[in-house]
Amino acid sequence: MANRLTRIYTRTGDGGTTGLADGSRVAKDSPRIEAIGAVDELNSTLGVLLAETLPDAIGAGLRDAQHDLFDLGGELSIPGHALMSESHVARLEQLLERFNAGLPPLKDFVLPGGARTAALAHLARATCRRTERRVVALSAKEAVPAFAVQYLNRLSDLLFVLARVLNREAGCADVLWQQGKNR
């Protein structure tokens, strides 16, 4: 990184706008800033999950995803700039296949819960889905990075599978939905 921040506050956003990395200014509630903020929130949620004790392979995959998400945020802050590629999506698909291979097939819907790490993975999955919706909303108005939606879709799937794996690692069963349980 060539430029270092020596001062954190600039006062330039006090009027309700913020600067993109290309130097342009946009409203803080614009769809682009909503998408960038959602990516940042997702990355932070992964950070909370990574603060837990996790199997090495899961931790490595999530740390890679954090770097990818920072790249995605960069792409969103410089319209037209590309950092992510099809290989990012393919890497998530490989992880999905690897981790899902050891799980029993699903016959019921799974509720968020079980072990703390699994619950945090479910929270990250839900945050990822919201992020995906924000990027899709942006794409209806402006150009978005080519692989952004695919990447977020695969990452949410991976987080679901990892929640199941983490429950197994902790000796917990998936928490299954019981339709009409409280009638």
pLDDT, tens only, 41-80? 999 999 999 999 999 999 999 999 999 999 999 999 998 8
Residue 50 has a CB neighbour count (10 Å cut-off) of: 17
CB-based burial label for 157 (10 Å; 0-12, 13-18, 19+) = middle
List all residues 6 or more positions away from 74 whose beta carbon is below 8 Å from its beta carbon.
21, 81, 83
CATH assignment of the domain containing 78: 1.20.1200.10
pTM to 2 decimals? Answer: 0.90
pLDDT, tens only, 116-154? 999 999 999 999 999 999 999 999 999 898 899 999 999
Q: What is the domain count for the chain? A: 1
User: What is the domain range of residue 79?
Assistant: 17-176
Look at residue 8 and tell me if it is in a domain: no
Look at residue 9 and tell me if it is in a domain: no
